[in-house]
Amino acid sequence: MANSSTRRFFMGAATAASAMRVWGANERVNIGIVGLGGRGGGHLNAYSRLPETRVAGLCDVNQAARERAQATLLKNTGEKAKEFDDMRAAFADPNIEAVSIATPNHWHALSSIWAMKAGKDVYCEKPASHNIHEGLTMVQVARETKRMLQIGSQHRSTPFKMRAMEALQGGLIGKIYQSRGLCYKRRKSIGKKPDTPTPAGLNWDLFLGPAPLRSFNELRFRYNWHWFWDTGNGDIGNQGVHQMGVARWGMSEPQWPLTAHAHGGKFAYDDDQETPNTLTANFDFGDRELVFETRGLLTGGEGLVPTPRRRPGGTSDTPSPAATGPKTSAPLNIMIGNLFYGTEGWAAMNDRGFQAFKGESHELVMEEGPKSEEETNTTALHMQNFVAACRSRNHKDLTDEIEIANLSAAMCHLANISYRVGRKLTLQSGPKFVDDPEANELLTRDYREPYVV
């Protein structure tokens, strides 16, 4: 840990936290990107091509990642950015006006909190948090500091999904009684590997941060950190949190469920992965339910309906392109996506499109999808929404603001807690679990000093 970085960070935080920067209409926002791995590379490419932003800082605990990012930035813009190995130094830099965080999950909350307290607006990758305590704290700090905190679930800025959700919430298929999220994403075995010396140029202590101190292991680094409880949340908190957010969105954003129950396991593989590769979760909201399925093994999709069926605006029983919406050539086969069941019909959604059906005959009443190439660049659209809110200073302009995203992540955490303790959980306000101290311990974690949320 660098003491000078800590001093610079807190000095910067003390002077910057009350600053409310207002940008001119044509002024670019200086962005610092924290975490330059796979998803961080996506952030870099997006921000370096947006006319609203300039990449001013590159931060990663791995020197090789910083070097790769500089080369990409130079190629994209002809410019280089200031480099940081410690995010606290980046947050203390007055030239960086907002930050975009693409670290592993266990850093999402603390890095966002540090940045907001240093006066920065934040775009943070999904899931919002690594545990429920962190998400609640992020909401609190965002309100106290009046900073913008957008979570990177770009489906919330996807135009055809926004159009579909408006129709669903307006009663397109009646009252929704069940919302389903499907995460059937193929995941192969990660195998087993021994601990090894830390590679040159990597600050392993900073990578671990809030997590327990462990020897370096390649399987706990570079993406596979998702499959260990110290740093990840399994695939329900990785790919699945997108579909969890859509499931809640279709239900008009319910708050905490009455109960949560998940079961599954790590099937088929003998490897070092800790999180389950198969998980089914059920959440009871009283008059409706949310069901979520995570499956990394070989499987088929769901959502196909029998033909013939009637198309919107037409009378033909033969499938043909809809008058409005996408040119989907067949019914949606959902492997990663959502299903909604209402009192008058049902609907299916994935990244390719949306289809809604009514009645016993499965009449197709709505079909939507991207209407232009621009509508398919959802990460750029989501980041533009973030920058627009930085200018307006209104957190309600954010399409996946922390208060929304916190609950989507929390549902994934509830499922994991139920799985880990092996029983159904009953919630009370707080949130806490009724008469279950073992489950309540998993609402937070034991933090390693000084990386404490």
Q: What is the pLDDT of residues 306-352, one digit of tens each?
A: 554 555 555 444 333 333 444 444 778 899 999 999 999 999 999 99
pLDDT over threshold 70, residue 292:
yes
Residue whose token pair is 């266990």: 106
Residue 311's pLDDT is 57
Report CA dihedral (106, 378, 168, 342) to the nearest 10 degrees: -60
Residue 167's pLDDT is 98
Average pLDDT, the chain: 91
Tens of pLDDT, residue by residue over 256-266, are 999 999 999 99
What are the residues facing 357 on neighbouring strands? Answer: 346, 364
Query: What domains lie within the chain, and their CATH numbers?
Result: 3-156+377-401 (3.40.50.720), 159-194+218-368 (3.30.360.10)
Q: Are 83 and 6 in contact (CB under 8 A)?
A: no
pLDDT > 90: percent of the chain = 85
Residue 305's pLDDT is 63
What are the residues facing 261 on neighbouring strands? Answer: 282
Cβ-based neighbour number of residue 320 at 10 Å: 11
Count how many residues are written for the chain: 453
Give the confidence band of 404 by pLDDT, cuts at 50, 70, 90: very high
Cβ-based neighbour number of residue 299 at 10 Å: 14
Between the alpha carbon of residue 94 and those of residues 7, 18, 84, 98, 141, the distances in Å are: 14, 13, 14, 10, 20
What are the residues facing 351 on neighbouring strands? Answer: none
Q: What's the pTM value of the predicted model, to 2 decimals?
A: 0.91
DSSP state of 298: S
Cβ-based neighbour number of residue 25 at 10 Å: 5
What's the order of all strands across the beta sheet hosting 176-183?
Answer: 363-368, 353-358, 345-350, 336-342, 176-183, 289-295, 278-284, 259-265, 425-428, 432-433
